[in-house]
């Protein structure tokens, strides 16, 4: 199964991407996580992305597309994948479509997580992230068992630099301007499945699972 997760910052894409990839045995490919791992390791890619990420802007298409297509060609992505955070522009969407058409395995579903902007902002201001395994937590809705420590790998939890309120609001504006047009494209392709993202995390997962099953069912 080949699935894209769409939705503004704070919609819960990362949270759900881990759960859906585990549930369906799919490769999890998160462009934000790949960039953050490169930043942590101070690679050329990380240094190139840093200024854009700090400002809450999108990294240029050519850089992101090259990175994602290389990742998609790895063996674990062959049976299927969950793409979190890509594509984010029409240019990226067309590049992905071309690459998948060439490989003979088009997308099965695009899940669009819907959430009011103010709820997304509130979530991100209370988010903590594990820099080692990339799991996310929330002071209100999903606190770790031990304050400041990742339940999964024991890493020290951090507040992301781009989760400052002004940057969060800018990232949401960028989403509305550059990424929302993808909804129409995927709707026209018959791939778009809206998923209500407000509510208990487990309930959101079940709605997303149903959407994935609907996407995978023969037309
Ligand atoms: P990226 O890391 O992809 O960030 P994002 O899209 O802004 O998404 P977030 O990670 O902020 O939110 P999320 O939807 O994953 O929410 P989460 O599950 O964490 O990208 C970062 C940057 O990298 C970009 O700004 C850009 O610079 C660059 N980049 C990445 N991809 C790119 C691309 N394709 N092109 C160009 N540039 C790119 O949840 C948020 C919080 O809510 C957490 O605290 C969580 O615990 C909590 N939560 C989750 N679900 C619920 C729930 N149901 N109820 C209550 N709380 C919940």
Give 95-143 pLDDT, tens digit per residue: 999 999 998 889 999 999 999 999 999 999 999 999 888 889 999 999 9
Query: What DSSP string runs through 138-194?
Result: ETTTB--SBTTB-TTT-PBPB--GGGSHHHHHHHHHHIIIIITHHHHHHHHTT-EEE
Give per-residue pLDDT as tens, 164-213. 999 999 999 999 999 999 999 999 999 999 999 999 999 999 999 999 99
Return the best residue to mutate from 71, 85, 171 for the ligand 1 pocket (most ligand atoms within 8 A of CB).
85
pLDDT higher at 219 or 162:
162
For residue 19, indicate whether it is catalytic. no
Return the best residue to mutate from 4, 18, 31, 182 for the ligand 1 pocket (most ligand atoms within 8 A of CB).
31
Ligand 1: residue whose CA is nearest its atom 48: 12
pTM higher than the cut 0.75:
yes
Ligand 1 geometric centre to CA of 171 (Å)? 10
For residue 171, indicate whether it is catalytic. yes
Helix (H) or strand (E) holding 4: strand 2-6
Helix (H) or strand (E) holding 127: strand 127-129
Ligand 1 geometric centre to CA of 48 (Å)? 20
Q: Does residue 80 surpass a pLDDT of 80? A: yes
Sheet with 27-30, strands from edge to edge, namely 27-30, 81-84, 2-6, 109-114, 192-196
Ligand 1 geometric centre to CA of 128 (Å)? 11
Q: Does residue 218 surpass a pLDDT of 70? A: no
Task: Work out which ligand 1 atom sits closest to the CA atom of 30.
Answer: 3
Q: Does residue 215 surpass a pLDDT of 90? A: no
């Amino acid at each position: 199964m080949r699935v894209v997760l769409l939705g503004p910052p704070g919609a819960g894409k990362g949270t759900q991407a881990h759960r859906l990839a585990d549930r369906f045995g799919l490769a999890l490919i998160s462009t934000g996580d790949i960039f953050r791992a490169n930043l942590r390791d101070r690679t050329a890619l990380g240094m190139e992305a840093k200024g854009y990420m700090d400002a809450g802007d999108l990294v240029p298409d050519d850089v992101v597309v090259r990175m994602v297509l290389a990742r998609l060609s790895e063996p674990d992505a062959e049976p299927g994948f969950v793409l979190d955070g890509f594509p984010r522009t029409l240019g990226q969407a067309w590049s992905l479509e071309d690459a998948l058409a060439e490989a003979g395995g088009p997308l099965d579903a695009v899940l669009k997580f819907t959430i009011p902007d103010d709820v997304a902002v509130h979530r991100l201001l209370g988010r903590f992230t594990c820099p080692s395994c990339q799991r996310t937590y929330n002071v209100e809705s999903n606190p770790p068992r031990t304050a400041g420590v990742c339940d999964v790998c024991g890493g020290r939890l951090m507040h992301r630099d781009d989760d400052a309120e002004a940057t969060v609001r800018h990232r949401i504006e960028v989403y509305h301007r550059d990424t929302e047009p993808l909804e129409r494209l995927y709707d026209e392709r018959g791939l778009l499945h809206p998923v209500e993202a407000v509510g208990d995390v487990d309930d959101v997962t079940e709605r997303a699972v149903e959407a994935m099953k609907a996407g995978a069912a023969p037309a």
